[in-house]
A = this chain, B = another copy of it.
Amino acid sequence: MDFGSILIMLVTLFVLAGSASWVFSRFGVPGLIGEILIGIAIANLTIGDWSFLGMLDIRIGDDPSQNYEIVELLAQLGAVFLLFSVGLETKARELLSVGRAATLVATLGVVLPFFAGFALMQLYDGNMHHALFLGAAMVATSVGITARVIKDMRMMDTKEAKIVIGAAVIDDVQGMVVLAIVVGMTASGEASASNIVLVSAVALAFVALALASALWIVPRVYRYFEERKKKRSTAIRKRHRSDKLVLAIAVCLGFAWISDTIGLAAIIGAFLGGMLLADYAREWKLEEKMESITALFISFFFLNVGMQVNLGDMANITVIALAAVVILIAVATKYIGCGLGARLGDKTLSKGSRNIIGIGMVPRGEVGLIIAAIGLASGAISSEIYGVVVLMAVLTTIIAPPFFARAFRKEYPLERGRGQEI
């Protein structure tokens, strides 16, 4: 391992991402868009013989270089820490209070895009596998992107934010079930019912267990230690300042691992782990502490989203036309499905609130990319369809945040001071 080569890569990427984020946020655009665009530039820019990838010893693809594997690892950890931070600000009690609306938003936001994507590909090339995977890739909402915009705008305490985050979590669980069904169907020609039931049951049990722990078990453990602490002297109590952060990081990584092991995305576990500690996050100053750690990692996540776009593969009129239609359908079905879900789920929501929720669910980001990668690896989809899915995931991610921020500002005009912080 060449530490010097890794260091120069980390510095270069970190400085480029930080500068792009800073410039974009100056113009009122969420900084993450700058980071994604810089990622696209890094992966695709060549001047004569020179390229960023060559300079930084980054090789993306089937046989990635060690430097790129490090970027990928930091990116995945960044998403995990970000979702943990979001979890820290999501109290289980409050999430359940928007449960009905969030469930309807999530479900309609899964059903509509899946069938629209499926129908489109059946019309395009009639390939069943292509149709199944494109449908699946259009299903899952990227809670990471939306969560960052919400956090940046300090809107976590609004009802709309809670519905969007809650629906995105439910969405991801449903997305994993859809993925399991699709993988089962492409492998055997038909979905194995027992496999679908198993995946759904495990996913639901995990979420339910985490919610139950947050509501009943964690508060009891906390009270037990508080009682014990009161009996001891103040001097001892003051000693272990950094223990709480170590505990938090352990919970974050541990839940991410459990989630990954049972076949859900690691970020779902991280989110649930954060939720477990949400009631004590302020007292233990976990939010600020995790913010520093997230700041170090998260730029690599957005850089990597951009770096996976191969502009060369996209320079083809059929692919561009297909991508344009897919993106239009992806945006429209998610917006309509989720808006409809919000209307059915909570009659008190205004038109502006439904608009926020519809837009907030549009970005596909990392989960769409994961599904596309699985499809490509299993040979179920072509590299052309893969490119379209990547473009769809990236563009819905780029398009949505400014509109999302504007919708929030329109609905909460009195709180202008809470503008972009990134």
Q: Which residues of A contact B (CB under 8 A)?
A: 1, 3-4, 6-8, 10-11, 14-15, 18, 22, 25, 64, 66, 69-70, 72-73, 76, 235, 238-243, 245-247, 249-250, 253-254, 256-257, 260-261, 266, 288-293, 295-296, 417, 419-422
- Given A7-B266, A293-B296 in contact, is the A250-B422 Cβ separation under 8 Å? no
Taking A22-B243, A245-B292 as given, write out 18 further A-B residue pairs in contact, using a Cβ cutoff of 8 Å, ordered by the A residue number.
Answer: A3-B76, A3-B260, A3-B266, A4-B260, A4-B266, A8-B261, A11-B254, A11-B257, A14-B253, A15-B250, A242-B291, A242-B421, A246-B295, A249-B295, A288-B292, A289-B292, A290-B292, A292-B292
From A70, which residue of chain B is reached at the shortest CB distance?
B73
Q: What separation, in Å, do the CA atoms of A18 and B252 have in the docked complex? A: 14
- Given A14-B246, A296-B293 in contact, is the A260-B7 Cβ separation under 8 Å? yes
What are 30 A-to-B residue pairs whose CB atoms are below 8 Å? Answer: A1-B64, A1-B72, A1-B73, A3-B73, A3-B76, A3-B266, A4-B260, A7-B253, A7-B260, A8-B261, A11-B253, A14-B249, A14-B253, A15-B250, A18-B246, A18-B250, A22-B240, A22-B243, A22-B246, A25-B240, A70-B73, A238-B417, A239-B420, A242-B421, A245-B295, A249-B296, A288-B288, A288-B292, A292-B292, A293-B293
From A17, which residue of chain B is reached at the shortest CB distance?
B246
Least Cβ–Cβ distance between A206 and chain B, in angstroms: 15
Please name all residues of chain B whose beta carbon is closer than 8 Å to the beta carbon of A14 when the two chains form the complex: 246, 249-250, 253
- The prevalent SS among residues of A at the interface is helix
Contact B70 A10 (CB under 8 A): no
- Oligomeric state, in copies: 2
Q: What separation, in Å, do the CA atoms of A107 and B116 have in the docked complex? A: 75
Contact B261 A4 (CB under 8 A): yes
From A247, which residue of chain B is reached at the shortest CB distance?
B18
Please name all residues of chain B whose beta carbon is closer than 8 Å to the beta carbon of A25 when the two chains form the complex: 239-240
Please name all residues of chain B whose beta carbon is closer than 8 Å to the beta carbon of A240 when the two chains form the complex: 22, 25, 421
Please name all residues of chain B whose beta carbon is closer than 8 Å to the beta carbon of A243 when the two chains form the complex: 18, 22
Q: What separation, in Å, do the CA atoms of A6 and B76 have in the docked complex? A: 11
Contact A11 B250 (CB under 8 A): yes
Least Cβ–Cβ distance between A65 and chain B, in angstroms: 12
Please name all residues of chain B whose beta carbon is closer than 8 Å to the beta carbon of A260 when the two chains form the complex: 3-4, 7
Q: What separation, in Å, do the CA atoms of A422 and B245 have in the docked complex? A: 12
Q: What separation, in Å, do the CA atoms of A421 and B420 have in the docked complex? A: 37
Contact A257 B4 (CB under 8 A): yes
Q: What separation, in Å, do the CA atoms of A239 and B29 have in the docked complex? A: 13
